[in-house]
Amino acid sequence: MRAEAAEPSVAALLDEVRSLVVAARDRGQSPSYLMLAPAAYDTVAACRATDRRIGAPMTVLGLEIVRSDDSAAPPRVF
């Protein structure tokens, strides 16, 4: 998914993020955060109302999401 897409696909985002996580693990890394462009972040946040209400972190595939200032930034794990 390109972060600047008008209607970000969560299904595509998950597939891409999973690949990023696997690649990171193959490099011996263990990422904890996922940085998303504003549109993607907002789409995910809309799915996480319950988590926000109960004070749980908003996550995708176990990674806590972080909002990027760059509207064109691709997803990045770190």
Partner 1 sequence: MLSREENELLTRVCGDAPMGQVLRRYWLPALLSDEVAEPDGAPVPVRLLGEDLVAFRDTKGRVGLVDERCPHRLASLVIGRNEDCGLTCIYHGWKFDVTGACVDMPTEPEGFGFKNRIRIAAYPTREAGGMVWTYMGPPESEPPFPAFGWTALPREQRGIIKIGIRANYLQTVEGAIDSAHSWFLHRGSSRDWEKRFAVSQDQSPKLEAEDTAYGFRYAAIRKPLENPDTTKYVRVTLFALPSTAFIPPPLNADLPAHTQIFVPLDDDHTMLFDVFHSQNGTPVDEAELRRGLHAQPGVDLDADWFRHARRENRWQQDRAAMRDGSWTGIKGFQNQDIAAQESMGRVVDRSREHLGTSDVAVIRMRRRMLETVRRLRAGEPLVGQDAPIAYERLASEQRLIPIDQPWQTVGAHAGEYAAT
**Nearest-approach distance from CB 52 to partner 1, in angstroms:** 12
Q: Taking CB under 8 A as the criterion, which residues in 23-42 touch partner 1?
A: none
Chain centroid to CA 37: 9
Identify the helix (H) or strand (E) that includes residue 33: strand 33-36
Q: How far apart are CA 26 and CA 52, in angstroms?
A: 32
In the list 2, 4, 10, 38, the residue contacting partner 1 (rule: CB under 8 A) is: 10
**Binding flag, residue 9, partner 1 (CB under 8 A):** yes
Nearest to 40 by CA among 78, 70, 12, 3: 3
The contact set with partner 1 (CB under 8 A) reads 7, 9-12, 14-15, 18, 21-22, 43-44, 46-47, 50, 59-62
